[in-house]
Amino acid sequence: MPVIHITHKDTPGTEVFWKLTDAQLRNRLHPAEALVVVESPKVIRTALSAGLQPVALLCEERHLSGDAADIVARLGDIPIYTGPRELLADMTGYTLTRGVLCAMRRPTLPTLDDLCAQSRRLVVIDGVCDTTNIGAMFRSAAALGMDGILLTRDSCDAFNRRSIRVSMGTTFLIPWTWVDDPLKDLRQRGFHTVALALRHDSILLDDPRLAAHTRLALIMGTEGDGLPNDVIDGADDVVRIPMARGIDSLNVAAAMAVACYQLRIKS
């Protein structure tokens, strides 16, 4: 495999790591050429094990025979760009986590029908634009037994570099796809919809009737505004988490983790 020692920011072939925007990486016109950028050795290993195809690696020189040595051995014949830490930080605009970035082919998302057909527990992320929250929500959903995630079109991309890193690569482990009309689409596919919101008519999360549903979709909204009123009004149930000390809400990722644990399929 070619190891290319870079000495300046504009080295040809490195554009994917510093120049391309998220929209350009997604490459809607040519989806087969779309890319994701994966950061840190642990997350790169997860992506490789999930079957992602590597395209190029950017790595601090010291990690080629150190933290990333096993990764380098798995990459095949792709370019590996390397240089000192300061140059790579100047190139990318931030200090690399554990000194390694890998550009990979973007995975193909499942269809809504396929994802729903193999799921009993889904999370719907409605309008969440914070990449850190998206990553944390994916990690919780994967860890707590959810079968898949649906994102509305106004949510941020789960394959955003920061979302991938915060999720610790679980964006590649739990199936997800986009959804246009969550309530209608899920009801047509036999799901009981549950909106997490503070409403006078809400029921408590630990109500045993909720976990008894064979197919259930938990709908989560944005950190500040929460879910739109039409989504809350249209859901089969509105649910709140029992809380103490006058506290009425949690961070959206924390709230989702609590709800996923309570509503998971208990085998």
User: Quick one: pLDDT at residue 97?
Assistant: 61
User: Candidates 2.30.30.280, 3.30.1330.30, 3.20.20.70, 3.30.450.20; correct CATH number of 3-105?
Assistant: 3.30.1330.30
pLDDT of 199 reads 83
Domain ranges of the chain: 3-105, 112-263
- This prediction has a pTM of 0.91
> For residue range 130-179, what is the model confidence (pLDDT) as tens digits?
999 999 999 999 999 999 999 999 999 999 999 999 999 999 999 999 99
Exposed, middle or buried by CB within 10 Å (0-12, 13-18, 19+), for 182? buried
Q: Tell me: domain 112-263, CATH 3.50.50.60, correct?
A: no
The b-or-e profile of 202-222 (16+ CB within 10 A means b, else e) is beebeeeebeebebbbbbbbb
Task: Please tell me the total number of residues recorded for the chain in this structure.
Answer: 267
For the chain, which ranges sit under pLDDT 50? none
Predicted pLDDT of residue 155 = 96
pLDDT at 39: 92
pLDDT in the model for residue 226: 84
* Beta strands, E only, the chain: 3-5, 35-39, 54-60, 80-83, 100-105, 121-125, 148-152, 176-179, 192-196, 203-204, 216-220, 237-240
**Per-residue pLDDT, 29:** 62
